[in-house]
């Protein structure tokens, strides 16, 4: 009780809501809880209320403050069993120290970093470092998507393709209004694409019958344009 009482005395009066001794892990974590600026702190990771306390382990590891702040010791204790999963294991932390070791993937896999990526996490799950990319022998033929060789000519063609796609999308957006059918939108996309010397990619792709997809309401994707208003 001595340590718990000392913690309570060190915290603002509004935090002193419970006199029941916490579990041992909760006491150790709460004893190092750091006070943060209310206006700069994310909400409580458990209840969403304004938070002024931060998990000391997260602060020590320099983890993002999102999902690491709490409004009271009680919220911190209740959330501890799930919250502690965001702390990388010692082995994972040690492996990050070597440039040749395990790293986090960033920028959708196009880069690697030693530190946990900064992100507005929506839950307790966090990525862990991964090992180096495994190598496929040169004598094995690779698919085109495994090769990332873009010549200046190819890059210029990609820019032109993107420009045309943007113009076609803008043309389709201009005709969208209350009462128009999705088939009419498809007609505009089809004609505008052909007018620019392009082939409407969806047309006849795996027998898809239209030149664009129009997914209405609960249709998730790949909706077929039709007479729907």
Residues of the chain with CATH 3.90.230.10: 138-229
Q: Structure tokens of 88?
A: 């990388």
Q: Is 6 exposed, middle or buried (0-12, 13-18, 19+ CB in 10 A)?
A: exposed
Asked if pLDDT for residue 30 goes beyond 60, the answer is no
- What global pTM score does this model have? 0.43
Asked if pLDDT for residue 75 goes beyond 90, the answer is no
Closest CA to 74 of 114, 139, 30, 128: 30
CA 218 to chain centre: 23
Mean per-residue pLDDT, 62-86: 82
Q: Return d(Cα 35, Cα 21) in angstroms, integer.
A: 21
The DSSP annotation for 77-144 comes to HHHHHHHGGGSPPHHHHHHTTSTTS-BEEEGGGTEEESSPPP---SSS-----B-PPPPPPTTS---G
Q: How confident is the model at residue 34 (pLDDT cuts 50, 70, 90)?
A: very low
Question: What is the rounded average pLDDT for all residues in the chain?
Answer: 75
The CA–CA distances, whole Å, from 166 to 72, 171, 193, 210 equal 51, 9, 11, 19
Condensed to tens digits (0 to 9), the pLDDT of residues 148-190 reads 778 889 889 999 999 999 999 999 999 999 999 999 999 999 9
CA atoms in the 13 A half-sphere facing the CB of 73: 28
Higher pLDDT, 200 or 60: 200
Q: Which of 108-117, 120-129, 140-149, 152-161 has the lowest mean pLDDT?
A: 108-117
Asked if pLDDT for residue 99 goes beyond 60, the answer is no
CATH class of the structural domain 138-229: alpha beta
3-state SS assignment for residue 59:
helix
| pLDDT (0 to 100) of residue 8 | 32
Q: Structure tokens of 130?
A: 């991964």
Higher pLDDT, 227 or 11: 227
Mean per-residue pLDDT, 61-80: 82
């Amino acid at each position: 009780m001595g340590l718990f009482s000392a913690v309570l005395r060190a915290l603002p009066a509004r935090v002193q809501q419970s006199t029941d001794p916490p579990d041992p892990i909760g006491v150790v974590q709460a004893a190092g809880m750091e006070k943060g600026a209310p206006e700069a702190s994310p909400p409580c990771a458990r209840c969403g209320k304004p938070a002024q306390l931060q998990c000391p382990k997260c602060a020590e590891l320099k983890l993002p403050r999102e999902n690491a702040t709490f409004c009271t010791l009680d919220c911190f204790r209740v959330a501890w069993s799930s919250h502690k999963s965001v702390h990388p294991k010692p082995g994972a932390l040690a492996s990050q120290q070597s440039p040749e070791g395990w790293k986090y993937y960033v920028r959708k896999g196009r880069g690697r970093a030693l530190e946990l990526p900064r992100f507005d996490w929506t839950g307790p799950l966090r990525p862990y470092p991964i090992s180096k990319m495994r190598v496929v022998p040169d004598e094995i033929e690779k698919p085109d998507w495994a090769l990332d060789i873009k010549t200046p000519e190819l890059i210029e063609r990609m820019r032109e393709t993107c420009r045309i796609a943007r113009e076609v999308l803008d043309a389709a957006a201009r005709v969208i209004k209350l009462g128009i059918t999705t088939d009419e939108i498809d007609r505009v996309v089809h004609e505008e694409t052909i007018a620019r010397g392009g082939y409407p990619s969806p047309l006849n792709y795996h027998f898809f019958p239209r030149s664009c997809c129009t997914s209405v309401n609960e249709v998730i994707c790949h909706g077929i344009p039709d007479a729907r208003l």
